[in-house]
Structure 1
Amino acid sequence: MIFAGSHILSVEQFSRADIEQIFAVADSMEPYALRKRVTRVLEGAILGNMFFEPSTRTRVSFGCAFNLLGGEVRETTGFKSSAIAKGESLYDTARVLSGYSDVICMRHPESGSVAEFASASRVPVVNGGDGANEHPSQALLDLYTIQKEVTAKRGSMDGLRIAMIGDLKHGRTVHSLSRLLALYDNIEVVLVSPEELAMPERYVDALRSAGHKVVISSELNHSISRVDIVYSTRIQEERFESKEAADVYRGRFRLNQSIYTEFCQPNTVIMHPLPRDSRSDANELDNDLNQNPNLAIFRQADNGVLVRMALFAMILDVVGQVEAHSREVNWYHRRNGM
């Protein structure tokens, strides 16, 4: 695809070659993400960060990524703080705010809402999550993490074995990730969930149509016994009618160090899109995994900055200018001092 000036709304936009290009640019962003160098290539540019659902990592990492490229960030969080609460349409909001920004990142609770917004925007729009539909930048950073964690051990993404666990019905991260995995060869996906929260059939069918093996299970322990990646997700409480309805499924699939040692292979990588639900009745990934070197959840979050920096640089067509606008840092940073 041509990235310059494009919206990023769905992982279906990407070919395998596109992904490899994004990841190559993400690799080149590491000196800036680690504060070893500073670049001002987007000085004067403005990111409009519009988040109408709660977010920590996605909202902050998009802002951080833009700041690290030298740009500025303006934020709207929640419906109550926006004119949408007064009845303004997405069309009108898009027409106005795209006049104030050079690129917009948007999260909204309704599927298809970001694409609707983008159709009226005068600047590129990046989907930061639209309901239970998609989360393309999360899928890219997940795949980037898998590549960094796994290919060093096994040499290739092809032939990957991954278990996706939890609320697969409402989890937009696994929906988008499964679509990207379908671009590779000989993938085995084990889908572990209660029957009521199973992965929607269209994603299962897409994987199988691409020639991949899909195993559906409601049992955790033996499902994780021969995979390269354990990708856990939380129960998406906000997608249920009530907290009580979500509580029925909370805590069904808990992974701790004891279960990991007994059932997982020694190099199995543990991933989670975060936030992990650490409440006692959920505890999806136990704190006793925190010292496990294969727990990649925080490396995964760090990788989000690299991938989002890459997307901004490609959308605004400055990849070849980043180094020319860079310099050494002039302050102490702990990661530079280690």
Structure 2
Amino acid sequence: MSLTGKHILSSDLFDRDELERLFELAEVLVPVARGEQVTRALEGAVMASLFFEPSTRTRLSCESAFLRLGGAVTSTTGSEVSSLAKGESLADTSQVISGYCDLAVMRHPEVSSIHEFAAVTNIPVVNAGNGAGEHPTQALLDMFTLHREFGRLGKSMDGRRIALIGDLRHGRAPHSLMKLLALYEDLTIVCIAPESLGMPQELLELAVSHGHRIEESHRPSIALKEADAVYATRLQTERFADKPLPYSDEFRVDRALVSQVCRADAVIMHPLPRDSRPGANDLGADLNGDPRLAVFRQSDAGIPTRMALFASVLGVADEVRKSLRPAGWYRPEYTRPDDAPFYKS
């Protein structure tokens, strides 16, 4: 299956072969993402960056990825500073934008928005998050991270025990991730959430239909044991309005919990942002420096993964490989103070 010209609205689009092709290209592009090599495979192409909901990582990662490929970016952020504030429809916006650009990346708080936008444009559209729906590019970089982390540990993706913990009902990142996990074999997927925030039933049924084992739990201190990977997510407070938040400190994935129940070689992930304030029921900042914490390696994976996706959607994957050359500018050593020793090598 070729991705050239395709809309990337859902993780449904991918099969395992396509994932492996994307990840092979992403590995080639890691030095470009780090500023060590250069490609101009998309020179002259223009991406529309349309973020009608707050974003830091996804917006900057998508824009950086397109720029690293040699393309240009034009952007708008927030409905209040676009013509949507004047009553323009998404359909009209879409058709206008398609006359300006070669590809559009959009985030919007309404689930149906990305489908409305894509239905009336002739350029590829990439979903950067549609309300509580999906976030397929996040799922791609999450899977790329899992492949790299398990590869470092001498493990394959198949046969693993993967724990997802947090607000699994409203979290679009775990929704898209579940669809990609279903493409692998013999997984045990542990969904840990308060009763009212569990994974949607249709996604559980999808995993079961692919032969995977599903376990549901409300007790992190029990369910996280023996997990090969722990994928934590924050409480999606923006989806609750004024309702009370059904969350307790049991769901705080911090040093105390990890030290008590997690494997010594567990991979700990989070799509970010996390609430790092003291007492927050999220992934604890006291895990910084723990070699199992992969969140910044995961975040770094966003640029090469999205570069691989954009190159594939615009049909220049082969050109990328041919056009690589060394960068001519200064780059610092690619490490951070809290990076694990193996990451610095």
Q: Following the alignment from structure 1 to structure 2, what is the Cα–Cα distance between the partners of residues 24 and 204?
A: 29
- Per-residue displacement from partner, 1:14-72 (whole Å, max 9, x unpaired)? 11111111111111111211111111121111110001110000000000000100111
Q: Following the alignment from structure 1 to structure 2, what is the Cα–Cα distance between the partners of residues 9 and 260?
A: 35
Report the 3-state secondary structure (helix = DSSP H, G, I; strand = E; otherwise coil) of the residue aligned with 1:49: strand
RMSD over equivalenced CA pairs, Å:
1.5
- Per-residue displacement from partner, 1:213-255 (whole Å, max 9, x unpaired)? 111100011111111001000000111122x623x42644112
Q: Which moved more, 1:319-328 or 1:17-26?
A: 319-328
Aligned to 2:76: 76
Q: Following the alignment from structure 1 to structure 2, what is the Cα–Cα distance between the partners of residues 240 and 260?
A: 28
Q: Is the 8 A contact 1:142 1:177 kept in 2?
A: yes
User: Normalising by the residue count of structure 1, what TM-score does the alignment of the two structures yield?
Assistant: 0.96
What displacement does 1:290 show? Answer: 0.4
Letter in 2 for 1:321: E
- Per-residue displacement from partner, 1:63-98 (whole Å, max 9, x unpaired)? 000010011111110100111111111110000011
Aligned to 1:290: 288
Letter in 2 for 1:295: L
Residue 307 in structure 1 maps to residue 280 in structure 2: no
Q: Is the 8 A contact 2:219 2:250 kept in 1?
A: no
C-alpha distance 319-155 of structure 1, shift in aligned 2 (>3 A): same
Stretches of structure 2 that go unaligned for 5 or more consecutive residues are 336-343
Q: Following the alignment from structure 1 to structure 2, what is the Cα–Cα distance between the partners of residues 120 and 250?
A: 44
Q: Which moved more, 1:273-282 or 1:19-28?
A: 273-282
Aligned to 2:228: 228
C-alpha distance 156-324 of structure 1, shift in aligned 2 (>3 A): closer
Q: Is the 8 A contact 2:110 2:131 kept in 1?
A: yes
C-alpha distance 252-239 of structure 1, shift in aligned 2 (>3 A): farther
Aligned to 2:257: 259
Q: Following the alignment from structure 1 to structure 2, what is the Cα–Cα distance between the partners of residues 255 and 169?
A: 18
User: Normalising by the residue count of structure 2, what TM-score does the alignment of the two structures yield?
Assistant: 0.94
Q: Following the alignment from structure 1 to structure 2, what is the Cα–Cα distance between the partners of residues 322 and 253?
A: 43
What displacement does 1:151 show? Answer: 3.0
Letter in 2 for 1:299: R
Q: Which moved more, 1:86-95 or 1:327-336?
A: 327-336
Residue 127 in structure 1 maps to residue 127 in structure 2: yes
Aligned pair count reads: 336
What displacement does 1:314 show? Answer: 0.5
Aligned to 2:320: 322
What displacement does 1:152 show? Answer: 3.0
Q: Is the 8 A contact 2:247 2:281 kept in 1?
A: no
Q: Following the alignment from structure 2 to structure 1, what is the Cα–Cα distance between the partners of residues 334 and 232?
A: 32
Residue 110 in structure 1 maps to residue 110 in structure 2: yes
Q: Following the alignment from structure 1 to structure 2, what is the Cα–Cα distance between the partners of residues 34 and 93?
A: 34
Letter in 1 for 2:308: A
Aligned to 2:339: none
Q: Following the alignment from structure 2 to structure 1, what is the Cα–Cα distance between the partners of residues 250 and 9?
A: 32
